[in-house]
Amino acid sequence: MEEKPRWTEQEVERAKAIKLIYPNAEKLELIPCVIRVYTDIGAIAYLHADLFPSMKNGQISTLDEIIGGAQ
C-alpha cells in the first residue's frame, strides 16, 4: 500500500481555499507540472503543481483527505 502524503499547513489551507472557491470540487490529480481540480462532472480548473509539493505524479487525492490530513 502506498504511503499517504504528509500535508503541510499551507497545502491544507490551499485545499480549504479551493473548496471555498469551487464548492463542488472533490479531488486533485497531479499530472506533470499541473494539478487538475475535479468535480463530479470532470476537471474544472488547473493549478500550478508547486502549490501541492507533497503530491507525486499521477497521484489523486480528495480535498477532504488533504483538509483532514495535516500532521
pLDDT over 60 at 47, yes or no: yes
In angstroms, the first-to-last Cα distance of the chain is 19
Where b means 16+ CB within 10 Å and e means fewer, 13-36 reads ebbeebbeeeeebeebbbeeeebb
- For the whole model, what pTM was predicted? 0.88
Position 4 in a domain = no
Asked whether residue 71 carries a pLDDT value surpassing 70, the answer given is no
Question: Is 1 within the bounds of a domain?
Answer: no
Q: Is residue 2 part of a domain?
A: no
33 in a structural domain? yes
Q: Whole domain around residue 25: which residue ranges?
A: 9-67
Q: Which residue has the cell 502524503?
A: 5
Total count of domains within the chain: 1
pLDDT tens per residue, range 54-68: 999 999 999 999 999
Instruction: List pLDDT tens digits, range 16-43.
Output: 999 999 999 999 999 999 999 999 999 9
**Helical H segments across the chain, by residue range:** 9-21, 63-67
